Protein backbone atom coordinates (compact mmCIF):
# COMPACT_ATOMS: atom_id res chain seq x y z
CA UNK A 1 0.00 0.00 0.00
CA UNK A 2 2.86 2.32 0.91
CA UNK A 3 4.55 1.55 -2.42
CA UNK A 4 1.26 2.20 -4.25
CA UNK A 5 0.85 5.59 -2.61
CA UNK A 6 4.46 6.50 -3.32
CA UNK A 7 4.22 5.53 -6.99
CA UNK A 8 0.86 7.25 -7.53
CA UNK A 9 1.14 10.27 -5.28
CA UNK A 10 1.11 12.64 -8.26
CA UNK A 11 -2.12 11.16 -9.61
CA UNK A 12 -3.72 11.22 -6.15
CA UNK A 13 -2.71 14.85 -5.68
CA UNK A 14 -4.34 15.75 -9.00
CA UNK A 15 -7.55 13.91 -8.08
CA UNK A 16 -7.73 15.60 -4.66
CA UNK A 17 -7.14 18.98 -6.29
CA UNK A 18 -9.90 18.36 -8.81
CA UNK A 19 -12.34 17.44 -6.01
CA UNK A 20 -11.46 20.58 -4.08
CA UNK A 21 -11.89 22.81 -7.16
CA UNK A 22 -15.21 21.18 -8.04
CA UNK A 23 -16.44 21.71 -4.50
CA UNK A 24 -15.40 25.34 -4.52
CA UNK A 25 -17.14 25.92 -7.84
CA UNK A 26 -20.31 24.22 -6.60
CA UNK A 27 -20.57 26.18 -3.35
CA UNK A 28 -19.57 29.39 -5.08
CA UNK A 29 -22.24 28.75 -7.71
CA UNK A 30 -24.89 28.13 -5.05
CA UNK A 31 -23.90 31.33 -3.27
CA UNK A 32 -23.95 33.34 -6.49
CA UNK A 33 -27.26 31.77 -7.47
CA UNK A 34 -28.76 32.86 -4.17
CA UNK A 35 -27.41 36.39 -4.58
CA UNK A 36 -28.56 36.53 -8.22
CA UNK A 37 -32.11 35.45 -7.37
CA UNK A 38 -32.22 38.02 -4.58
CA UNK A 39 -31.04 40.73 -6.98
CA UNK A 40 -33.69 39.78 -9.54
CA UNK A 41 -36.39 40.18 -6.90
CA UNK A 42 -34.95 43.52 -5.81
CA UNK A 43 -34.85 44.74 -9.41
CA UNK A 44 -38.47 43.77 -10.00
CA UNK A 45 -39.43 45.59 -6.82
CA UNK A 46 -37.32 48.57 -7.87
CA UNK A 47 -39.20 48.72 -11.17
CA UNK A 48 -42.46 48.91 -9.27
CA UNK A 49 -41.06 51.49 -6.87
CA UNK A 50 -39.92 53.75 -9.69
CA UNK A 51 -43.23 53.38 -11.48
CA UNK A 52 -45.04 54.28 -8.24
CA UNK A 53 -42.99 57.47 -8.08
CA UNK A 54 -43.99 58.33 -11.61
CA UNK A 55 -40.63 57.70 -13.25
CA UNK A 56 -40.07 55.75 -16.44
CA UNK A 57 -39.66 52.03 -15.93
CA UNK A 58 -36.02 51.01 -16.56
CA UNK A 59 -35.25 47.94 -18.60
CA UNK A 60 -34.16 45.11 -16.30
CA UNK A 61 -31.00 43.53 -17.63
CA UNK A 62 -31.77 40.06 -16.35
CA UNK A 63 -33.35 37.03 -17.93
CA UNK A 64 -37.06 36.89 -17.18
CA UNK A 65 -36.92 33.11 -17.00
CA UNK A 66 -35.38 33.51 -13.55
CA UNK A 67 -38.67 34.92 -12.32
CA UNK A 68 -40.73 32.03 -10.87
CA UNK A 69 -43.28 30.35 -13.09
CA UNK A 70 -46.82 31.56 -12.53
CA UNK A 71 -49.33 28.96 -13.66
CA UNK A 72 -52.39 29.90 -15.66
CA UNK A 73 -55.29 30.54 -13.32
CA UNK A 74 -53.09 30.89 -10.24
CA UNK A 75 -54.67 32.50 -7.17
CA UNK A 76 -52.41 35.17 -5.65
CA UNK A 77 -52.74 37.76 -2.91
CA UNK A 78 -52.47 41.38 -4.08
CA UNK A 79 -50.09 43.27 -1.77
CA UNK A 80 -49.67 46.68 -3.43
CA UNK A 81 -51.26 48.77 -6.19
CA UNK A 82 -48.80 50.64 -8.41
CA UNK A 83 -51.28 52.38 -10.73
CA UNK A 84 -54.52 51.60 -12.52
CA UNK A 85 -53.11 48.66 -14.47
CA UNK A 86 -50.13 47.37 -12.44
CA UNK A 87 -49.85 45.77 -9.00
CA UNK A 88 -47.67 43.51 -6.84
CA UNK A 89 -48.51 40.04 -5.63
CA UNK A 90 -47.14 38.02 -2.72
CA UNK A 91 -43.37 37.62 -3.10
CA UNK A 92 -42.98 41.15 -4.49
CA UNK A 93 -43.55 40.28 -8.15
CA UNK A 94 -45.26 42.71 -10.53
CA UNK A 95 -48.35 42.00 -12.63
CA UNK A 96 -49.48 44.11 -15.60
CA UNK A 97 -53.20 43.79 -16.36
CA UNK A 98 -53.95 42.82 -19.95
CA UNK A 99 -56.60 44.41 -22.15
CA UNK A 100 -56.38 47.95 -20.74
CA UNK A 101 -54.18 51.01 -20.36
CA UNK A 102 -54.54 53.35 -17.38
CA UNK A 103 -52.89 56.72 -16.73
CA UNK A 104 -49.42 57.05 -15.21
CA UNK A 105 -48.65 59.53 -12.43
CA UNK A 106 -49.18 63.20 -13.35
CA UNK A 107 -51.81 62.21 -15.92
CA UNK A 108 -55.43 63.26 -15.32
CA UNK A 109 -56.88 59.90 -14.26
CA UNK A 110 -53.94 58.34 -12.42
CA UNK A 111 -55.33 58.75 -8.92
CA UNK A 112 -58.88 57.77 -9.83
CA UNK A 113 -57.81 54.54 -11.56
CA UNK A 114 -55.29 53.60 -8.88
CA UNK A 115 -57.76 54.22 -6.04
CA UNK A 116 -60.46 52.18 -7.74
CA UNK A 117 -58.10 49.26 -8.35
CA UNK A 118 -57.18 49.36 -4.65
CA UNK A 119 -60.86 49.15 -3.76
CA UNK A 120 -61.37 46.22 -6.07
CA UNK A 121 -58.40 43.93 -5.39
CA UNK A 122 -55.93 45.16 -2.72
CA UNK A 123 -55.36 42.53 0.02
CA UNK A 124 -57.54 40.07 -1.86
CA UNK A 125 -56.74 36.87 -3.73
CA UNK A 126 -57.25 37.19 -7.47
CA UNK A 127 -57.16 34.69 -10.31
CA UNK A 128 -54.45 35.46 -12.87
CA UNK A 129 -55.25 34.22 -16.36
CA UNK A 130 -52.58 34.03 -19.06
CA UNK A 131 -52.85 35.77 -22.41
CA UNK A 132 -50.62 35.33 -25.45
CA UNK A 133 -47.41 36.36 -23.65
CA UNK A 134 -46.16 35.41 -20.20
CA UNK A 135 -44.07 38.48 -19.24
CA UNK A 136 -43.09 41.87 -20.62
CA UNK A 137 -39.60 43.35 -21.03
CA UNK A 138 -39.57 44.44 -17.38
CA UNK A 139 -40.31 40.88 -16.22
CA UNK A 140 -43.83 41.75 -15.12
CA UNK A 141 -46.36 38.94 -15.46
CA UNK A 142 -48.96 39.75 -18.14
CA UNK A 143 -52.36 38.54 -16.96
CA UNK A 144 -56.10 39.04 -17.15
CA UNK A 145 -57.28 39.52 -13.58
CA UNK A 146 -60.44 38.13 -12.04
CA UNK A 147 -62.02 38.55 -8.62
CA UNK A 148 -65.00 36.27 -7.95
CA UNK A 149 -65.44 35.86 -11.75
CA UNK A 150 -65.43 39.66 -12.23
CA UNK A 151 -63.11 40.72 -15.08
CA UNK A 152 -61.14 43.64 -13.59
CA UNK A 153 -60.13 44.95 -17.03
CA UNK A 154 -63.75 45.13 -18.08
CA UNK A 155 -64.76 46.76 -14.80
CA UNK A 156 -62.22 49.59 -15.07
CA UNK A 157 -63.14 50.32 -18.68
CA UNK A 158 -66.87 50.28 -17.88
CA UNK A 159 -66.26 52.90 -15.19
CA UNK A 160 -64.30 55.14 -17.55
CA UNK A 161 -61.02 54.76 -15.67
CA UNK A 162 -58.99 53.00 -18.38
CA UNK A 163 -59.04 52.50 -22.14
CA UNK A 164 -59.02 49.24 -24.08
CA UNK A 165 -55.59 48.26 -25.39
CA UNK A 166 -54.76 44.96 -27.07
CA UNK A 167 -51.74 43.59 -28.89
CA UNK A 168 -52.14 41.16 -31.82
CA UNK A 169 -51.12 38.32 -29.46
CA UNK A 170 -53.72 39.19 -26.81
CA UNK A 171 -57.26 39.62 -28.11
CA UNK A 172 -59.09 37.61 -25.48
CA UNK A 173 -62.10 39.53 -24.09
CA UNK A 174 -61.43 42.25 -26.68
CA UNK A 175 -65.00 42.41 -27.97
CA UNK A 176 -66.61 43.08 -24.60
CA UNK A 177 -63.90 45.45 -23.36
CA UNK A 178 -63.96 47.57 -26.54
CA UNK A 179 -67.78 47.67 -26.39
CA UNK A 180 -67.58 48.80 -22.75
CA UNK A 181 -65.21 51.62 -23.66
CA UNK A 182 -67.51 52.77 -26.46
CA UNK A 183 -70.43 52.93 -24.05
CA UNK A 184 -68.41 54.79 -21.39
CA UNK A 185 -67.12 57.28 -23.95
CA UNK A 186 -70.50 57.95 -25.54
CA UNK A 187 -72.12 58.44 -22.14
CA UNK A 188 -69.18 60.46 -20.76
CA UNK A 189 -68.71 58.01 -17.87
CA UNK A 190 -65.71 58.30 -15.57
CA UNK A 191 -62.52 60.31 -15.43
CA UNK A 192 -61.11 59.33 -18.85
CA UNK A 193 -63.93 60.88 -20.81
CA UNK A 194 -64.74 63.81 -18.54
CA UNK A 195 -61.07 64.91 -18.37
CA UNK A 196 -60.87 64.66 -22.16
CA UNK A 197 -63.64 67.22 -22.56
CA UNK A 198 -61.96 69.56 -20.06
CA UNK A 199 -58.57 69.20 -21.77
CA UNK A 200 -59.95 70.14 -25.19
CA UNK A 201 -61.80 73.19 -23.84
CA UNK A 202 -58.68 74.35 -21.98
CA UNK A 203 -56.59 73.95 -25.13
CA UNK A 204 -58.87 76.24 -27.15
CA UNK A 205 -58.53 78.99 -24.54
CA UNK A 206 -54.73 79.19 -24.84
CA UNK A 207 -53.29 81.80 -27.21
CA UNK A 208 -49.98 80.55 -28.62
CA UNK A 209 -47.40 81.72 -31.13
CA UNK A 210 -44.91 79.80 -33.28
CA UNK A 211 -41.39 80.70 -34.40
CA UNK A 212 -40.49 77.99 -36.95
CA UNK A 213 -43.38 75.84 -38.14
CA UNK A 214 -45.49 78.55 -39.76
CA UNK A 215 -47.03 78.81 -43.25
CA UNK A 216 -44.87 81.87 -43.95
CA UNK A 217 -41.58 80.08 -43.23
CA UNK A 218 -42.42 76.62 -44.60
CA UNK A 219 -45.00 77.22 -47.30
CA UNK A 220 -47.12 74.48 -45.70
CA UNK A 221 -50.71 74.58 -44.54
CA UNK A 222 -51.44 74.27 -40.79
CA UNK A 223 -54.35 72.03 -39.81
CA UNK A 224 -55.91 70.87 -36.54
CA UNK A 225 -54.97 67.38 -35.35
CA UNK A 226 -58.53 66.13 -35.80
CA UNK A 227 -58.44 67.17 -39.48
CA UNK A 228 -55.35 65.06 -40.22
CA UNK A 229 -57.41 62.11 -41.49
CA UNK A 230 -58.37 64.23 -44.51
CA UNK A 231 -54.75 64.77 -45.64
CA UNK A 232 -53.21 61.30 -46.10
CA UNK A 233 -50.07 61.37 -48.24
CA UNK A 234 -49.62 65.14 -48.00
CA UNK A 235 -46.79 67.16 -46.47
CA UNK A 236 -48.41 69.41 -43.90
CA UNK A 237 -48.18 70.93 -40.40
CA UNK A 238 -50.46 69.42 -37.76
CA UNK A 239 -51.30 71.41 -34.62
CA UNK A 240 -52.85 70.03 -31.44
CA UNK A 241 -52.45 69.01 -27.83
CA UNK A 242 -50.79 65.76 -26.77
CA UNK A 243 -53.46 64.08 -24.70
CA UNK A 244 -51.44 61.01 -23.74
CA UNK A 245 -48.20 59.22 -24.61
CA UNK A 246 -47.08 55.61 -24.84
CA UNK A 247 -43.75 53.77 -25.06
CA UNK A 248 -44.18 50.33 -26.64
CA UNK A 249 -42.28 47.11 -25.95
CA UNK A 250 -40.00 47.95 -28.89
CA UNK A 251 -39.40 51.38 -27.23
CA UNK A 252 -41.27 53.22 -29.98
CA UNK A 253 -42.85 56.41 -28.61
CA UNK A 254 -46.37 57.48 -29.58
CA UNK A 255 -47.67 60.99 -28.94
CA UNK A 256 -51.47 60.81 -29.20
CA UNK A 257 -53.29 64.07 -29.93
CA UNK A 258 -56.59 65.41 -28.55
CA UNK A 259 -58.05 62.07 -27.40
CA UNK A 260 -56.90 58.88 -25.68
CA UNK A 261 -55.73 55.86 -27.62
CA UNK A 262 -57.35 54.20 -29.58
CA UNK A 263 -59.57 57.23 -30.31
CA UNK A 264 -56.77 59.71 -30.87
CA UNK A 265 -57.22 62.18 -33.74
CA UNK A 266 -53.58 61.90 -34.78
CA UNK A 267 -50.25 60.42 -33.58
CA UNK A 268 -46.62 61.48 -33.87
CA UNK A 269 -44.27 58.48 -33.79
CA UNK A 270 -40.60 58.40 -32.77
CA UNK A 271 -38.76 55.12 -33.32
CA UNK A 272 -36.11 54.10 -30.80
CA UNK A 273 -33.26 54.61 -33.31
CA UNK A 274 -34.09 58.33 -33.60
CA UNK A 275 -34.92 59.19 -29.98
CA UNK A 276 -31.40 60.35 -29.12
CA UNK A 277 -31.96 63.38 -31.37
CA UNK A 278 -34.93 64.62 -29.34
CA UNK A 279 -35.46 65.92 -25.82
CA UNK A 280 -34.73 63.40 -23.07
CA UNK A 281 -37.73 61.13 -22.41
CA UNK A 282 -39.91 62.60 -25.19
CA UNK A 283 -43.00 60.82 -23.83
CA UNK A 284 -42.68 62.92 -20.67
CA UNK A 285 -41.36 66.13 -22.18
CA UNK A 286 -44.16 66.51 -24.74
CA UNK A 287 -47.04 65.09 -22.70
CA UNK A 288 -49.96 67.52 -22.26
CA UNK A 289 -48.16 70.08 -24.45
CA UNK A 290 -49.48 71.90 -27.52
CA UNK A 291 -47.29 71.09 -30.52
CA UNK A 292 -46.93 71.53 -34.23
CA UNK A 293 -45.73 68.51 -36.19
CA UNK A 294 -44.38 68.70 -39.73
CA UNK A 295 -44.27 65.80 -42.18
CA UNK A 296 -46.13 63.52 -44.55
CA UNK A 297 -49.32 62.10 -43.06
CA UNK A 298 -49.35 58.30 -43.18
CA UNK A 299 -52.17 55.88 -42.42
CA UNK A 300 -51.66 53.20 -39.78
CA UNK A 301 -54.50 51.03 -38.44
CA UNK A 302 -57.01 53.53 -39.91
CA UNK A 303 -55.40 56.43 -38.01
CA UNK A 304 -53.25 59.33 -39.31
CA UNK A 305 -49.68 59.68 -38.11
CA UNK A 306 -46.38 61.38 -38.91
CA UNK A 307 -43.01 59.70 -38.31
CA UNK A 308 -40.56 62.04 -36.56
CA UNK A 309 -36.94 61.56 -37.58
CA UNK A 310 -35.64 65.07 -36.94
CA UNK A 311 -36.34 67.51 -34.07
CA UNK A 312 -36.92 70.23 -36.69
CA UNK A 313 -40.23 68.46 -37.41
CA UNK A 314 -41.64 69.36 -34.00
CA UNK A 315 -42.22 72.69 -32.24
CA UNK A 316 -43.61 73.46 -28.81
CA UNK A 317 -46.11 76.34 -28.77
CA UNK A 318 -45.23 79.39 -26.68
CA UNK A 319 -47.75 81.48 -24.78
CA UNK A 320 -48.03 85.13 -25.74
CA UNK A 321 -46.99 87.49 -22.96
Cα(288)–Cα(241) distance, integer angstroms: 6
Burial class (CB within 10 angstroms; exposed 0-12, middle 13-18, buried 19+) of 82: buried
Per DSSP bridges, beta strands 235-247 and 222-224 are: parallel
Q: Which residues contact 200 (CB under 8 A, 6 or more apart)?
A: 241, 258
Written as one string, the DSSP assignment of 30-80 is: HHHHHHHHHHHHHHHHHHHHHHHTTPPPPPP-S-GGGSPP--TTEEEEEEE
Cα(137)–Cα(131) distance, integer angstroms: 15
Q: Residues with catalytic annotation?
A: 96, 104, 140
Is the N-terminal amide bond of 27 cis, ω within 30° of 0? no
CA contacts within 13 A on the Cβ side of 280: 2
Of 219, 223, 235, 225, the residue nearest 200 (C-alpha): 225
Cα(101)–Cα(252) distance, integer angstroms: 16
Cα(264)–Cα(63) distance, integer angstroms: 35
Is the Cβ–Cβ distance between 132 and 113 less than 8 Å? no
Q: Which residues contact 9 (CB under 8 A, 6 or more apart)?
A: none
Amino acid sequence: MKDFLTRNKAIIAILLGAVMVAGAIYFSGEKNKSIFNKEIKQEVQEVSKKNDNGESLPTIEVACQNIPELKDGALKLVTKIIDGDTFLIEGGYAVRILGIDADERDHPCYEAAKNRLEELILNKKVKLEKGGEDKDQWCRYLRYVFLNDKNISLELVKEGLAVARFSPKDTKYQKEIVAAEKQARENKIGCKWLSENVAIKTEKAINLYWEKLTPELTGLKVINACEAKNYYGKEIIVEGKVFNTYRSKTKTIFLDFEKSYPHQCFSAVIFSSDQYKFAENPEKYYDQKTLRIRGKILKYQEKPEIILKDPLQIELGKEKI
